Amino acid sequence: MDRLHGMTVFVAVAEEGGFAAGARRLGLSPAAVTRAVAALEERLGVRLLERSTRHVRVTEAGQRYLDDCRRLLAELDEADEAAAGLNAAPRGLLAITAPVLFGRMYVMPGIVEYLRRYPDTEVSAVFVDRVTNLLEEGYDVAVRIGELPDSGLRALRVGQVRRMICAAPAYLAEHGTPRTPGDLAAHTIVASTGASTQPEWRFRENGGVRAYRVHPRLTVTSNDSAIEAVRQGFGLARLLSYQVAPLLASGALVPLLEPFELPPVPVNIVHREGRHGTARVRALIDLLAARLRGDPALDWTVA
């Protein structure tokens, strides 16, 4: 059996969650896919997939092997593209992930431009408000907001954003403007579980950082819902500056407690490319970096 073929088939079946779906993805017959996986398991002497009448699941040993197969196949793609020349036109499928609201506002316009510029490419975009594992979940590129943990990923900083308290002028006219973080206890709080599940808001105060426990009257599951409630004059919310940049510019929302804000948090494009990098990934990173660094809402020029 061709070892590379077996790896490719196994990855397709594992990612698609079934032999029939994996066969469709590869353009093979289900019988051929079943034989390839069986031969691979026999050669390795370990079961990679648990089969049932309804599901195909990766075993513990299979998950480790799946991660290795993905990495090796990606490196082979890189080697092929490097041999074809660094100026080869981008082609093929690319997977990217980003936070929900940031993805809609800043990443999607870049993806559309990328697809128009390179007609032989395809993009799978997943916008979720959680930290994804690029290797385990099969993403090529991610946009991350916040400090990055140590990892084998490569990162390109493209901006920074602030965590800020906002309210509508109508709310402030009725309830007054908080002057210190301690004043928040007297105000209506709107919180988003999409932004954080932390019941405390932290501020810079008296040369250090102090946490204030908040008691939201309204808790929503998405940042855009929190923004809408605040825009309508219902309370204060703690949001990232990019999320409300248009509303701040128009005067629909007002920033509060700015002297007490924590330092800005970085925005990075992270990726898992190897030494050469595929043309499709390099092209998307370059395009997104240029767009994001040129956006004043991401405050790239501020040290």
In tens, the pLDDT along 283-292 reads: 999 999 999 9
- Determine the pLDDT at residue 262: 93
For the domain spanning 92-158+265-298, the CATH number is 3.40.190.10
pLDDT at residue 48 is higher than 60? yes
Between 147 and 238, the more confident residue is 238
Residue-by-residue DSSP string for 105-120: IIIHHHHHHHHHH-TT
Within this chain, domains 3-84 and 163-260 share the same CATH topology: no
pLDDT at residue 271 is higher than 50? yes
- Determine the pLDDT at residue 218: 95
- Determine the pLDDT at residue 138: 81
pLDDT in tens, 165-221: 999 999 999 999 999 999 999 999 999 886 555 578 999 998 899 999 999 999 998
- Determine the pLDDT at residue 237: 96
pLDDT bracket for residue 273 (50, 70, 90): low
Assign domain 163-260 to its CATH superfamily. Periplasmic binding protein-like II (3.40.190.10)
- Determine the pLDDT at residue 246: 92
Element (H, E) at 225: helix 223-231
Dihedral sign computed on CA atoms, order 265, 267, 271, 276: negative
Report the pLDDT averaged over residues 238-261.
95
**Residue 206 has what DSSP assignment?**
T
- 270 φ/ψ angles, rounded to the nearest 5 degrees: -115, 150
- Determine the pLDDT at residue 276: 45
Rounded to an integer, what distance in angstroms lies between the CA atom of residue 265 and that of residue 131? 15
Report the pLDDT averaged over residues 254-264.
95
For residue 75, which amino acid is it? E
pLDDT in tens, 126-167: 999 888 888 778 888 999 998 887 666 788 999 999 999 999
pLDDT at residue 303 is higher than 50? no
What is the average pLDDT score of the chain? 88
pLDDT in tens, 52-67: 777 788 998 888 898 8
pLDDT at residue 277 is higher than 70? no
Percentage of residues of the chain with pLDDT beyond 70: 91
Two structure tokens written together for 79 = 């080697």
pLDDT bracket for residue 47 (50, 70, 90): very high
pLDDT at residue 121 is higher than 60? yes
- Determine the pLDDT at residue 77: 72
pLDDT bracket for residue 241 (50, 70, 90): very high
Q: Are 130 and 103 in contact (CB under 8 A)?
A: no
For the chain, which residues make up each domain, given as ranges? Answer: 3-84, 92-158+265-298, 163-260
The CATH fold assigned to 3-84 is Arc Repressor Mutant, subunit A (1.10.10)
- Determine the pLDDT at residue 149: 73
